[in-house]
Structure 1
Amino acid sequence: MFKVRTVLGRLLRTTTTLPRLSYSTASGANMTSGYQQANVVILHKSLADDFEVFCRANHAPMPLLYRSKPGEWACPPLATDADIREDCPQYCVFENGALTKKVSSLAPYTAQLQEMVTFYLGCSFGFERILAKAGVPIRNVEQKKNVSMFRTSVPCVRAGQFQCPMVVSMRPVPKPKLDTVTQCTHLIKQSHGAPIHIGHPGLLGIKDLSSPDYGDPVETSPGDVPVFWACGVTGLEAVQSCKPDLAFTHSPGCMFVTDREEATDFPSSLEPAECPLTFCISQNPLHYSVASKAVVERIRSMEQIIGEDPGQRGIQALFVQDELLLACLSISHASSVLITTGFPTHFKHDPPEETDGPPGAIAMAAMLQALQKQVAIVTDERALEMNRRIIQDAVEKGVIKTAVPLLSFQADSPDSALNFLCYNGDPEKPRYDHLVAIERSGRAADGNYYNMRGVNIKHLVDPIDDLFITASKITGITTTGIGDGGNELGMGKVKEAVISHMPNGSLIACDVAADFAVTAGVSNWGGYAVACALYVLNKCPIHHRYVLKGIGSSPVDQHSHWASSLPSVAKEGDLLSILVKYGVRSGKTGNLAMEVDGLTFHPTHSDLIERLRAITLEHTHSK
């Protein structure tokens, strides 16, 4: 006789373990079970190896707790006296990939099960008790509902015949509790670990939170943020994609209950490298990112370094904390980045450009290329040929691996900016996820462009500001401005500070704001810091997992390639020599020499580059 382990049967058990309840729709029983639960997938043994590879490659949705032998009903590492044929309250039966029925017992399939393998996968219900103890309201439990689960547009890594989208569970979380939920769940890898997305469901391809694909709709409260965890119901999708002759899974919300007690204590302290912090990087759409406390502290140190003011220009008055961090978190999520630079301050010379801007732009482009992101540079049409030669020389010198596409922009019609930024002018299909302006002349309130001396240089500047203005109205495009005086594109975010504290501020202040305004003593330094911060972010396992949404693995073999793309004294010195070769002058003095903004490359700029590299190349917590 098979041992009865249904919900009713467990209530009547007289074993040494405590009674255990499995979560079922509208029961709320999970919060009283006290034991870790598991999702179940049962497949023919011929598919087992591929499915294990699938689980390993998609570790967040499919944390593998145990793989049985063919015909093994028991699960020794997880439970005593187990019988998988009876131990889930309800099972799904799949034939040729189609769900044909739901049953309360698999005993009638005993003959077929002799040739089948059972996979036990972690379940997110395993962390709800610890969240509740940490003071996080569990809305689905409050409402006596099953958790909401959604099929996403995020493809899992394929293995053999298994290929499907990831499924996620969603729990509304009050905004002040976001750090708590990430820190509580981060170390519980067997229960899917930390969230893989926080914010707007559309970024996962989910159209309507009130219409879940599995489970029940859960109502949010004012101030709640949707938080998404990878979900083991992904296994059901995998089974359907493979279309096996016969397969079984648990019914969503009706898991196998193990003998393992759930974690109940909030971690009293976490090492900085294991302590996730959350940051809002976009309001439209709402999007949060995650990084370890250790990496956040390092990027804040970089921000302090580039905020030094050896030229005594008073730029500290423009400083806003964490703009470098937020900008780089946003850029890290982007797949395509557009950079602009070029400040023709020397209007009496040909070329009129200065040495501040292009080095920082190329440093960022080099790291973006290493991270396999699409990157292009847009600049003034009159300067295209010169910039092509500069970049080609930079490639030959090894400053950057491959040439960056160069573009120009002209406002020929009211829709020019929209057509430039989006495919076929469709705001639903942007070409770029992020725009970065570094030491780019910015439009003032009167429509003109001024250097720091208050001279109007509008005749030398193409209307690239229009791209930033239009981007601010397109959902999904974020922007960064990097500057050192307040008259640069994007620095309109700190316009009031520019007017109050900078010479000629009321005249020269840029009127066009970016989402993030990075202030630096020299704008190039901001570009170097962005490159360095992107490096440490992508070597942070917590952040990299979040960007990958828990799918795939950290590309450890790429780390040396990333490091070789960092700015260095040698590379930046070579690039400055190239600029001087083409007649580009120092911004403050107009000298045709190895200097930027009147500061000689050695020792001022070279020392700063070395300090940034020292922070960047400290021991990083790579996988």
Structure 2
Amino acid sequence: MSLLARGCRLLHSASRITAQRRVLTSSYRTTVPKVYKQPGIVILPKQFADDFEQFCSLNSGPLPLLYKGQPGEWRCSDMLGKVDIRTSFPQYYKYEAGNLCASLPDLLPHTGDLEEMVVFILGYSPSGDMTLQTADNSSQNVNQSHTLSIYKTTVPCQEVSPFQCNLLVSMRPVPEKELSTTVQMEDRHGAPVHIGYPGLLGIKDLSKPDYGAAVELQQGVIPVFRACGATAVEAVKSCKAPLAFTHTPGSVYISEAQDSQLGQFCGPPDSIQSVCISENPLHFSLASSAAVQKIRSLEGVIITDPGNRGIRALFVQDELLKASLSMSHAKSVLITTGFPTHFNQNPPEETDGPPGALAMAAMLQALRKEVAIVVDLRALEMFQAIIAEALKQGILKQPVPILSFQEAGQDAAKRFLCHNGDPQSPRYDHLVAVERAGRARDGSYYNMRKVNIKHLVDSIDDLFIAASTIPGITTTGIGDGGNELGMGKVKEAVRKCMPNGDLIACDVAADHAIACGVSNWGGYAVACALYILNCCLVHERYLRKAVGLPRLSEKPFWTEALPVVSKEEQMMHILVKFGIRSGKTGTLGMEVDGLPFYSIHSDIIQQLRDITL
């Protein structure tokens, strides 16, 4: 067994663990516990000190820097009380040229070496359920008695030469029913950086931790991963300093000082909510309660039904939240739109769909995601021209590739969605349809008047069907009548409650189905929700796995990408220029689904923007 593995398994007796846990659980539930600093240390030659300080600053999730000493300073009275760093930790590791070469009970023999070295004190919390030390069970020099499962990930820390390494995470299983409470508790020392399938962190096998002992996952539990202070060990190795020391992971010093005295080590003050955004693979996301409430407010606006179509019967709460969280995690998004309801017109498309699709595309691009749009082949040139005009008028800042898909069948769909048709290598993380004609159970496509428009529609539905079999691709459908692609998730409600529902209901389900009064509004709301999430410190930290710096400096670009009345007015003029008509009435003008742009759509856009900002 390696030295580091042995360090991770430093244990007191099992009875003490049980007793400690019982006290901690009771204390948490009845009172607000006192949380004590649990620092770890890194000791480096002074010529490495400034670079390591910057490395910690850029990667404060795993390496919250509490104190940087002066060369030769091995007493840290200001930070930990009157302690001697050479003897205060249960065990130390010694490194030479990046190699772990010894485990030491103290550093007294290296007193001379320490004169030319700098001590760094790092916030360290080896296990979530052991962090809540109360006044009754805390004391100095108490060694944490808990076996850790620590894993190397493929998530790179922000590099500061000569320090470069990937993030290390600790994992502990949590019963799904206790996940919400656990997330709130762990917020005090930094919320989780990942919840769910370990492969999304590059971890291939939970039964084979890099350090520590494996924890067996029981049925009904969720693996919860947190940024781990053991990342410091990998950072120290990477710099190849001639001499360096660290504490051993799993054995830390318990200070009498409380974390309330140290703001930067504690997690965000806002409460956190966990949301399941994917079942295959299992993936939870995090956001603050304030952000969640804002998105629910957006949802309340878009379910407005001024056309009295009965759309509320299809409403499922938090579909907007889940879809937007999923898209926020995606690196690449494929959008589809186009409902050729006017089968006797050229073009047959309606004004509902393209504006919502482009509003999503603009925000996704602002968030640095790859975006493409797939449409019917007969409409390909028209949509390319619309994109060119949107770029010319500043509605879009970057071109959006316009694609087509005509082949039928799952094999063709997998070749389109995945590199070389390999389900292990998808091109897109998320597919979203906004007001896209959806296939009914008889294989045809119907508008709301029961007219079969199958001859105008390519089999883009097959992409959504294939995506449901490919782990890692999530789908969303946005609709306002139930005959749109993806609304098969609520098809029973469509058949029961919508006019002609038994015939027209889309039979193809998406993972998330956003029902709204007008489908464009769903696209606008997704754009707004993505903005809210990426401005949320809780969610933003979770996205970057607590490494690197927040991207809030890009907020002005995100704000510029939000839907605004003047921009959407321009978009409507472009559609009218290309002969695209209102869906319900066929009017060629400033109208969507029979509702005038001014006073109806413009008011909805403004309401969404007001909630967002």
Q: TM-score under structure 2 normalisation?
A: 0.91
Cα-to-partner distance string for 1:145-190 (whole Å, 9 max, x where unaligned): 412111111100001211101011111112122222222232x3xx
Aligned equivalent of 2:447, options 429, 451, 455: 451
Q: How far apart in 2 are the matches of 1:215 and 1:460?
A: 60
Aligned to 1:305: 301
- Summarize the Cα distance change of 1:363–1:454 in structure 2 as closer, same or farther, 3 Å threshold: same
Aligned to 1:87: 88
Aligned to 1:442: 438
Matched, 1:563 2:564: no
Matched, 1:260 2:269: no
Matched, 1:592 2:588: yes
Contact 2:146 2:250 in 1 (8 A): no
Aligned to 2:334: 338
Aligned to 1:316: 312
Q: How far apart in 2 are the matches of 1:40 and 1:217?
A: 25
Q: How far apart in 1 are the matches of 2:9 and 2:88?
A: 12
Shifted more, 123-132 versus 202-211: the winner is 123-132
Aligned to 2:505: 509
What amino acid is the match of 1:220? L
Aligned to 1:213: 210
The alignment partner of 1:317 has SS state of: helix
What amino acid is the match of 1:549? K
Q: How far apart in 1 are the matches of 2:36 and 2:568?
A: 58
Q: By how many angstroms is 1:555 displaced?
A: 1.9
Q: How far apart in 2 are the matches of 1:337 and 1:224?
A: 30
Aligned to 1:204: 201
The alignment partner of 1:87 has SS state of: coil
Q: How far apart in 1 are the matches of 2:127 and 2:50?
A: 26
Contact 2:173 2:217 in 1 (8 A): yes
The alignment partner of 2:450 has SS state of: coil
Matched, 1:24 2:10: yes
Q: How far apart in 1 are the matches of 2:525 and 2:480?
A: 14
Aligned equivalent of 1:224, options 187, 208, 221: 221
Q: By how many angstroms is 1:503 displaced?
A: 1.1
Aligned to 2:113: 112
Cα-to-partner distance string for 1:600-623 (whole Å, 9 max, x where unaligned): 101110011111111011xxxxxx
Q: By how many angstroms is 1:552 displaced?
A: 1.8
Cα-to-partner distance string for 1:300-332 (whole Å, 9 max, x where unaligned): 111011001111111110000010011001111
Q: By how many angstroms is 1:553 displaced?
A: 2.1
Aligned equivalent of 1:387, options 377, 383, 386: 383
Q: How far apart in 2 are the matches of 1:211 and 1:319?
A: 44
Matched, 1:583 2:569: no
Q: How far apart in 2 are the matches of 1:372 and 1:127?
A: 33
Mapping of residues 125-524 of structure 1, within 5 Å:
125=126, 128-129=129-130, 145-186=146-187, 188=188, 191=189, 193-261=190-258, 274-411=270-407, 414-524=410-520
What amino acid is the match of 2:45? H
Cα-to-partner distance string for 1:490-513 (whole Å, 9 max, x where unaligned): 000000000101111111111110
Q: How far apart in 2 are the matches of 1:428 and 1:44?
A: 45
The alignment partner of 1:279 has SS state of: strand
Q: By how many angstroms is 1:126 displaced?
A: 7.5
What amino acid is the match of 1:54? F
Q: How far apart in 2 are the matches of 1:481 and 1:381?
A: 21
Contact 2:125 2:131 in 1 (8 A): no
Aligned to 1:16: none
- Summarize the Cα distance change of 1:480–1:26 in structure 2 as closer, same or farther, 3 Å threshold: farther
Contact 1:131 1:181 in 2 (8 A): no
Aligned to 1:11: none
Identity of aligned residues (%): 59
- Summarize the Cα distance change of 1:227–1:492 in structure 2 as closer, same or farther, 3 Å threshold: same
Aligned to 1:19: none
- Summarize the Cα distance change of 1:471–1:131 in structure 2 as closer, same or farther, 3 Å threshold: farther
Please list every run of 5 or more consecutive structure 1 residues that lacks an aligned counterpart in the other structure: 1-21, 134-142, 264-269, 618-623
Q: How far apart in 1 are the matches of 2:37 and 2:172?
A: 18
Q: By how many angstroms is 1:258 displaced?
A: 2.5
Q: How far apart in 2 are the matches of 1:413 and 1:208?
A: 34
Contact 2:73 2:115 in 1 (8 A): yes
Aligned to 1:67: 68
Q: How far apart in 2 are the matches of 1:598 and 1:474?
A: 39
Cα-to-partner distance string for 1:322-354 (whole Å, 9 max, x where unaligned): 100110011111111000000001110111100
Q: How far apart in 1 are the matches of 2:370 and 2:249?
A: 39
Matched, 1:539 2:535: yes
Contact 2:233 2:246 in 1 (8 A): yes
Q: How far apart in 1 are the matches of 2:127 and 2:146?
A: 16
Contact 1:24 1:253 in 2 (8 A): yes
Q: How far apart in 2 are the matches of 1:599 and 1:553?
A: 45
Aligned to 2:603: 607
Q: By how many angstroms is 1:254 displaced?
A: 1.8
Q: How far apart in 2 are the matches of 1:394 and 1:156?
A: 38
Q: How far apart in 2 are the matches of 1:570 and 1:500?
A: 39
Shifted more, 550-559 versus 472-481: the winner is 550-559
Contact 1:279 1:289 in 2 (8 A): yes
Q: How far apart in 2 are the matches of 1:472 and 1:146?
A: 38
- Summarize the Cα distance change of 1:497–1:598 in structure 2 as closer, same or farther, 3 Å threshold: same
- Summarize the Cα distance change of 1:602–1:148 in structure 2 as closer, same or farther, 3 Å threshold: same
Q: By how many angstroms is 1:473 displaced?
A: 0.6
Q: TM-score under structure 1 normalisation?
A: 0.89
Q: How far apart in 2 are the matches of 1:262 and 1:291?
A: 23
Contact 1:307 1:319 in 2 (8 A): yes
What amino acid is the match of 2:430? H
What amino acid is the match of 1:24? L
Q: How far apart in 1 are the matches of 2:489 and 2:88?
A: 59
Cα-to-partner distance string for 1:112-133 (whole Å, 9 max, x where unaligned): 2211111111112475346699
- Summarize the Cα distance change of 1:261–1:570 in structure 2 as closer, same or farther, 3 Å threshold: closer
Matched, 1:551 2:547: yes
How many residue pairs match? The answer is: 576
Q: How far apart in 2 are the matches of 1:35 and 1:414?
A: 56
The alignment partner of 1:274 has SS state of: coil
Shifted more, 454-463 versus 249-258: the winner is 249-258
Shifted more, 23-32 versus 308-317: the winner is 23-32
Q: How far apart in 1 are the matches of 2:57 and 2:579?
A: 55
